[in-house]
Structure formats: structure tokens, C-alpha cells
Amino acid sequence: MSNGSANVSGYLPRAAVGAAVLLLATACGSSGGGGTAAPSASPSAAAPTTSAAAPATTSAAAAPAACGTGAAPTVSGTGPSDTAGAAAAISTSYQKFFDPATPATAKVGLLEKGTTFAPVLQSFAANPLAAHATATVLTVSFTGATAADVTYNLCVSGAPALPGSAGKSVLVGGVWQVADATLCNLIKLSGGTSPAACA
């Protein structure tokens, strides 16, 4: 019996990663004709990417802010005059962007070059798996007054599926948006067909 439990507990993280990657592959595949075989290979490809993206300082932050805790992200770097306020705005943008309750039309305004990705966002919204996806920002490291590196957990059903994921945020028109590179990296990780905007 304990041998079976070990197998199940070892499978759960892979299943969660697979669900997150499948979510993106399905969303992106319908906008660009991606294949169905890619998601099965993605969980093993996802492990190096997510573990490499999690710096040693993120591990301590990841424990209390696993998924949806509302904890403020750790802030570093120099950027805007109010880094704490900007980091809170970035965290809110990530949460809203990945929130299944946020309409795709609103997500366009939360994503850099969002109108270019509107078909991808519509596909994502139509995917039943998207109803279980959320994001929690762990760290924000400002690289300038209008740009930041972001570490976040992509969660499925309240559990981290892609913990310590690396993303970016940019200030556009007074709004901190999820950088298009963040979405493109997730699409690439999923094995889905990347839209031309990701080139």
C-alpha cells in the first residue's frame, strides 16, 4: 500500500504541471493549429524551466504565498518612485490576467500588445480548464522605471502547477501589464503553436 501512495504522490505534481501546460496548449492550439501530441511531452520539459526560474530567495517566499494568499510580493531593484505601490499593481494585474472570472476583453488591457493576442485570449477563456487557473506573484524586481522581472506561481485548482515561474511586467499608458514575453514563454512551454506576435 505505501508503495502505491508513493507513486500517487509523485504523480500529483506532474499531473498539476501537465494540467497547466495542457490548459495553455489547448488555448493556443485552437488559434494556430497546434497538435495534440505536444502536451504529453510537456510535463518533463516544464520541470527544468520552472526550477531554473526559482531563485534561492524565492523558495522562502513561495511557502507563505503558494496560491492566492494575498501576501504582498517581495520587492527589489530600482524603478518607479513608489516601488511598493507599483509591485502591488503588478501583482493585481497578474492576478486579474490569470483569473478565470476576468473577461477576455478585460485581459486585453492587462497584457502588453493585448489586442494582438485577442484570439489567444478568447481561446483561453473558452477552455473549461481555464476555470481552475490563477496566479500569485511572489517577487517583483524592478529593472527600470517601466519594467520589472516577476516571479509567480501559476496555480491550478488552488495548488501551484508551475511554481516559481519567471515573467515580466511593463508599464504602458499608466497600467502595469503582463509582458507579452510572459505569455509567449508559457505558450512555448506548452508546446502549442506560437502566434506571430511571439516571433
Model confidence pLDDT, tens digit, residues 104-115: 899 999 999 999
Q: Is residue 199 part of a domain?
A: no
Which domain range does residue 145 map to?
Answer: 2-190
195 found inside a domain: no
Number of domains present in the structure of the chain: 1
Is residue 42 within 8 Å of residue 29, measured between CB atoms? Answer: no
Whether 170 shows a pLDDT value over 90: the answer reads yes
Q: How confident is the model at residue 132 (pLDDT cuts 50, 70, 90)?
A: confident
3-class SS of residue 126 = helix
In a domain, 196, yes or no: no
Structural domain contains residue 101: yes
Are residues 63 and 49 in contact, defined by beta-carbon separation less than 8 angstroms? no
Residue 197 lies in a domain: no
Q: Please give the angle made by the CA atoms of 95, 108 and 141, to the nearest 5 degrees.
A: 45
- The reported pTM is 0.72
Pairing assessment for the beta strands 74-77 and 133-144 based on DSSP bridges: parallel
Q: What is the CB neighbour count within 10 angstroms for residue 146?
A: 14
Q: Does some domain include residue 198?
A: no
